[in-house]
A and B are shown apart, each in its own frame.
Chain A
Amino acid sequence: MNDETIQLQINGDEVNVPRGATLLDAAQQAGVDIPVICYHEATSPNGLCRICVVDVDGGRVLQPACVAECQADTQVETRNERVLRSRRTILEMLNASVNLQQAPEIQRMMADYQADESRFPEARLREAELIDDNPFYVRDYEQCVLCWRCVQVCAEDAQFTFALTLKNRGHETSVATAFDISMTESPCVFCGQCVGVCPTGALKPKVEWGMEQGWDADEMRRSTRRPRKRRDGA
């Protein structure tokens, strides 16, 4: 069944793809760039950042290219007015809630979609204190875009450790351990996969962070031996 090939149009050009291919697969095959934030080859796609939305046949709603399957004989627009408005607005809203200074890929998207950095005045930034509670990495959730990748690799997508979860909901959602215990009290095995898949500066190796603080090797070692807690309200 998957041998079957279907044809669709992307921005007016014909593309032939195997049945079951996603719109993102088809776009990559056609050399068309579609931005992604939450999507990562190593994690199950959740289609949640919606930055990859495209217009299929002028449908009622836009389709997330990372998970939506290609349908035969459809016309896909990846950069029309509807798509641009949604992508630009998502980026502007995200920038108003999250510190994106250390997210170069998202910064490039901001430029590409002409997103206005100060589009939403008086917006609530998701403030958070940096959490430095273990010798291996620091967590700065002020830079977290909630792509879920770290939670996923900590769970069924890779490590089956289940140290992380999402707490609260809506705009107040954050990544957390159970009852906000420190990483050293949690089941974390410090495999580092969460750090590897983080698309922003929210998760960072301790060494890299220490160097940013201007620490020398001694200070780095001291810090590693005596994990510090700087937990908000704890």
Chain B
Amino acid sequence: MSETFDLDAALDAYRGRGREALLPVLWNVQSELGSISPESVRRISHALRVPEADIYGVIGFYTLFHEEATGRRIIRVCADPTCALAGADEVLRDLCSRLGIAEGETTADAEYTVEHSPCLGLCDFAPAALVSSRGEVDKSLPAATVDALLGDWNETYFKPAGDVDSVMLDGSLADAPQTLAQYGDYAALRKALDEMSPDEVIAEVEASGLIGRGGAAFPTGLKWKFTRAAPGAEKYVVCNADESEPGTFKDRVLMEHRPHLLLEGITLAAYAVGTSQAYIFIRGEYPKATAILHEAIQQAQARGLLGEDIMGSGFSLDIEIRRGAGAYICGEETALFEAIEGKRGFPRIKPPYPTTYGLFGQPTAANNVETLCAAPLIINRGADWFRGIGSAGSAGPKLVSVSGHVGRPGVYEIAPGMTLRHFLDQVCGGVSGELQAVLMGGAAGTFLLPDEIDVKLTFEDLRAAGSTFGSGAIMVFNTTADLGDLLLRLGRFFQHESCGKCFPCQLGTQRQVEILERLDAPHSGDRERLLDVGMTMTEASLCGLGHTAGIAVMSAIEKFPGLFQA
């Protein structure tokens, strides 16, 4: 226990606030005390006026919150496909053996708790780990080893990304985030505030053909237009930085490299839809990006680029960072709103859509990090410039995250239209070994075989090929990879991340794992069972998680029939 932490004093900072302060308060307690006890819940309940049962329900929903006591250091090692290829299982096993505990347990001296974790978004530094030390800021550890996990380190990992032609990425950044001085004083925002009405900003973004980069590919200008037009006492811009799709880490790199590009994009969106309040909801597994954004907001406020009366225009904006607490589902926009509102991250029934009924029931533009980062470029350089890059249905530069068996895993900025083959051979260092399969779009994605990689990397070409661009994740597997093991990991991921609200996904992700666990010794009819489960999740689930939780398995049934003997 932290001897110095005074919960009541900490709660004073939240007095007068209600349920929406719940996740920040719980984070405060979790970080200082290592768990959230009944006594803490009782006091939080009084301070925020939230029922104790509800707080308990929230703690149990988010995996980074603990109701049971934990060790002074909580170590989480990624168990998802890319890290598994890089030896994460061995690191986890050796760590447990060194500490004399099983995974999920705490050492007798209460020093260490060891867990496995879903994808930490550090696939370019596999195997990855996330470590929470009592009373300290959480830290990611790239290229995790047992000795490093038990030792001390500064969270200074950085991998240059981008080249001379890049506009989203900046190849000149060698080892640190871009400062405000390097980025410059928000020229696109200056242009918008001086010369453009909000409707003109929206028209320019609409004309650019920008579509959402989070996976759903919805036209961004249209979303802003709907939000601006919707009646509401308040409106909000929410930046979805809950990047959690396995194999996806482009938003992390954008935030860690170019925080001001994102902040300027959020500010443009807020000006366009007409709000003075924006949120960045960032996954709890991204402590470094969170710290960088906090610092960038302070820099921008100090320069008058954020806050009251920005650049003397009369337009004001407050950007608040909200930290997620371990729930893939919160990347679904309505579940994300629920999390900000201090609830379990359950997705809502749609319609109504966020543009009319979003955060706190108000019209809300929820945009992905990469999407918002494109806005300053469009305003600075014009819609025609943006449209000039890529294809008709996939305008503008696009980031992809490539991991697995390639020469140079990482984030790359591409002009949509190049083939996957060209990308693999010429851009990311080639496939290591003999290609077996490419998983496009992450855990919710589909497989491409070696003879299918001449497909162009555009939203429309991939869709036509029965695949998906999704979040831009490209996971590459050579012939040494065990695809059955890969499928089992994807199955376990969805089983772990299903929120449990709707029956098809709550039950289907469990049934799917049970069948995947016996791929080597199947029951007669297992293939048909997987198809029934997969189709039922796809067609009958409540949200996008359930709709896609069986896609990779059904894709594997089609592409690798030999894996499914019965």
Contacts and interface: CB of A to CB of B under 8 A. Distances in A.
Contact of A146 (B500, B508, B532, B538): B500
Interface in A77-102: 82, 85-86, 88-90, 93-94, 96-97
B502 interface: yes
A67 B349 CA distance: 8
Contact of A170 (B499, B532, B533): B499
A162 B55 CA distance: 11
B499 A165 contact: no
A124 B38 contact: no
B90 interface: no
A198 B181 CA distance: 62
A208 to B, nearest CB: 26
Nearest to B532: A89
Contact of B506 (A67, A119, A124, A173): A173
B542 A47 contact: yes
Contact of B507 (A97, A178, A186): A97
A61 B538 contact: yes
Nearest to B502: A48
B452 to A, nearest CB: 23
Contacts of A46: 349, 501
Nearest to A67: B349
Contacts of A122: 514, 518, 523
Contacts of A145: 503
Interface string B504-541: 10111111001000100001000001001101101111
A179 B41 contact: yes
B498 A50 contact: no
Nearest to A161: B51
A153 B511 CA distance: 30
Interface in A126-166: 145-146, 155, 162-166
B510 A48 contact: no
Given A90-B536, A162-B53, A179-B38, A49 B503 contact: yes
A124 B514 contact: yes
Contacts of B529: 119-120
Contact of B502 (A49, A89, A162, A178): A49
Contacts of A96: 507, 511
Contacts of A53: 539-540
What are the 8 A-B residue pairs with the smallest beta carbon separation, nearest first? A165-B57, A162-B51, A173-B500, A93-B507, A171-B510, A170-B498, A165-B53, A178-B56
B564 interface: no
Interface string A154-192: 010000001111111111110011110000001100000
A64 interface: yes
Contacts of A168: 60-61, 500
B67 interface: yes
A186 B351 CA distance: 36
A69 B496 CA distance: 32
Nearest to B56: A178
Interface residues of B, number: 46
Contact of B53 (A88, A97, A121, A164): A164
Nearest to B547: A61
A170 B509 contact: yes
A186 B514 contact: no
B344 interface: yes
A86 B506 contact: no
B216 to A, nearest CB: 13
A123 interface: yes
B52 interface: yes
Interface string A26-61: 000000000001000000001111110100000001
Interface string B66-90: 0100000000000000000000000
B355 interface: no
Interface string B220-259: 0000000000000000000000000000000000000000
Interface string B266-307: 000000000000000000000000000000000000000000
A21 interface: no
B497 interface: yes
Interface in B123-175: none
A194 to B, nearest CB: 13
A220 interface: no
A122 B515 CA distance: 9
Interface in A93-114: 93-94, 96-97
A207 interface: no
Interface of A is mostly: loop
Contacts of B506: 146, 170-171, 173
B367 interface: no
B391 interface: no
Nearest to A51: B503
A61 B503 contact: no
Contacts, number: 152
A93 B503 contact: yes
B53 A61 contact: no
Nearest to B50: A162
Contact of B533 (A37, A62, A89, A97): A89
Contacts of B54: 162, 165
B495 interface: yes
B523 A178 contact: no
24 contacts: A47-B349, A48-B503, A51-B503, A62-B539, A64-B349, A85-B532, A86-B504, A86-B535, A86-B540, A89-B508, A93-B507, A93-B533, A123-B514, A146-B500, A165-B51, A169-B327, A169-B498, A170-B510, A171-B495, A171-B510, A178-B38, A178-B56, A179-B38, A186-B53
Given A163-B53, A166-B344, A179-B38, A90 B503 contact: yes
Most buried by A among B54, B510, B533: B510
A122 B519 CA distance: 13
Contacts of B532: 85, 88-89
A48 B506 CA distance: 10
Given A50-B542, A166-B500, A171-B495, 5 more contacts: A37-B503, A50-B503, A61-B538, A64-B542, A178-B51
Contacts of A49: 502-503
Contacts of A119: 529
Given A89-B533, A166-B57, A179-B38, A50 B541 contact: yes
A146 B501 CA distance: 8
A47 B518 CA distance: 33
A170 B500 contact: yes
Contacts of B495: 170-171
Contacts of A121: 523
Nearest to A165: B57
Contact of A61 (B508, B510, B514, B539): B539
Contacts of A50: 502-504, 540-542
A69 B509 CA distance: 28
Nearest to B500: A173
Contacts of B57: 165-167, 176
B445 to A, nearest CB: 17
A19 to B, nearest CB: 14
Contact of B514 (A47, A120, A163): A120
Contact of A48 (B501, B514, B536): B501
Given A166-B500, A173-B506, A178-B38, A187 B539 contact: no
